[in-house]
Structure 1
């Protein structure tokens, strides 16, 4: 008997099962190797694989999910859950795919504008001004992070620091995030979340007691002049925000100024309450 011949009513050889599932034997061996569809039985002597007729639906489902470029772990989650729960897992995965594709589409349009020489047109929608910010004490949390983890980390870290500010005299100005180096899918910064507080001594005492776990630091930011542009919640999304940063950089050069430190995002509005067109953030560079 070969692997292609039917065995019994209860078990099918890989060839017979492949024909019933409308898949190749090669695909079934791959699914077995990936841990997505194990044979019901494997003959120890011959190594032949045997399947039950009830596994046909799972085999077809695995094949279709792989056409969505779904990661193996997510495929396993869908097929194991099945039913409405499996459908929910699939819906969540596809929502992530659509969000990623939408971001890539926007990035492609942005890059087309740069490559075709329309940079000045893109930058023209940003109004750049300067402001003198006073000296301020900040509690800060720094982390190396890639772009896909950045939004979640910003929200979590600023939340932690704002909670800590209650022991440091309270928040005195808008929180901000400093980018000490580029944050992308290849470069991990670091980025630094900062919250200005009123009481330096209390802040240093708090950091000494609680800050070591997350490398929380306290420092005094000197009074500085900043060039900045104000952007909406929709414009904060990547890659729209890249155009804002580049617009400020271009303006600094055009005014004969120099960058005097790393760039930052200053968040002055309630993010959750803001709508897409509401101003929420200043993209700023210290200048001299």
Structure 2
């Protein structure tokens, strides 16, 4: 879409539609049209500099209707701006990708609703299946740590990027990775609570890790520290189970088991990732949900 003509000279093009006429043709409010102009979704063909009046070409009606339909799919305005700039095939693929994300979110919400119905009604919420709880002793480890305040929608991408940074640093600068990477949650990470959380990678060379962390600390909030030896109560999950909100059931199961066994928490909960996530299949075991216990 060409930038609107903002020349103050009178426009003689009789095909141009005033914003009111264009709003009537597209069934959009003038408020929505001004918003779409600011977002770069639907700029007017011409703006009179003297009066500020906006004018549109008739062929822009189809683009306006496309924007409306995409909004009805709950597509964010920024994504719509990208889609309407694509050719037909690429735009169709973008809609497919957006709708796949919507269906994934609805499936997760449906599972959460089933879980909440069971929990609030006093029945055991069996939607997640049965979790076997075990204990293990984790030895002391020296770890590279990245700390972040993060909300639910940002969490998966941050974990992936952060662990990649720390694992690359461990291999290149700190003598290698010496154990499973893990994520510690110091407070709830939800739509309204931002943790913080920490990604942790055990490394072989503490001195080198301290140097690297000092160099990167301002950029990524990285630090190096000793993770003390501790006993863990945990349950093991498949890749298909490590999805919010399904994973809530695993945390609940460990907490309920600790209460029955008379154990108390000795630190924040964590997720321990002990295999390659990218190569694992949905039914492969990939992660322990765990609590340090006394």
TM-score, normalised on structure 1? 0.86
Structure 1 residues 45, 192: CA separation in 2 closer, same or farther (over 3 Å shift)? closer
What are structure 1's unaligned runs of at least 5 residues?
1-6
Q: Distance in 2 between matches of 1:8 and 1:174?
A: 68
Greater CA drift, 161-170 or 48-57: 48-57
Q: Distance in 1 between matches of 2:222 and 2:22?
A: 59
Deviations 1:3-53 (A, max 9, x none): xxxx9762345565556x3x34x5255223431434434566776654322
Correspondence 1:100 to 2:105 = yes
Q: Alignment length, in residue pairs?
A: 279
Correspondence 1:172 to 2:178 = yes
Q: Is the 8 A contact 1:171 1:195 kept in 2?
A: yes
Q: Is the 8 A contact 2:239 2:285 kept in 1?
A: yes
Q: Is the 8 A contact 1:133 1:224 kept in 2?
A: yes
What are structure 2's unaligned runs of at least 5 residues?
1-11
Partner residue in 1 for 2:253: 247
Q: Distance in 1 between matches of 2:266 and 2:179?
A: 21
Structure 1 residues 62, 135: CA separation in 2 closer, same or farther (over 3 Å shift)? closer
Correspondence 1:150 to 2:163 = no
Deviations 1:31-90 (A, max 9, x none): 234314344345667766543222221222223223223222222322233522332332
Greater CA drift, 140-149 or 115-124: 115-124
Q: Is the 8 A contact 2:182 2:200 kept in 1?
A: yes
Q: Is the 8 A contact 1:158 1:194 kept in 2?
A: yes
TM-score, normalised on structure 2? 0.85
Correspondence 1:262 to 2:251 = no
Question: Cα distance, 1:108 vs. partner?
Answer: 1.3
Q: Distance in 1 between matches of 2:52 and 2:146?
A: 56
Structure 1 residues 71, 231: CA separation in 2 closer, same or farther (over 3 Å shift)? same
Q: Is the 8 A contact 2:128 2:246 kept in 1?
A: no
Q: Of 252, 270, 291, which residue of structure 2 is paired with 1:285?
A: 291
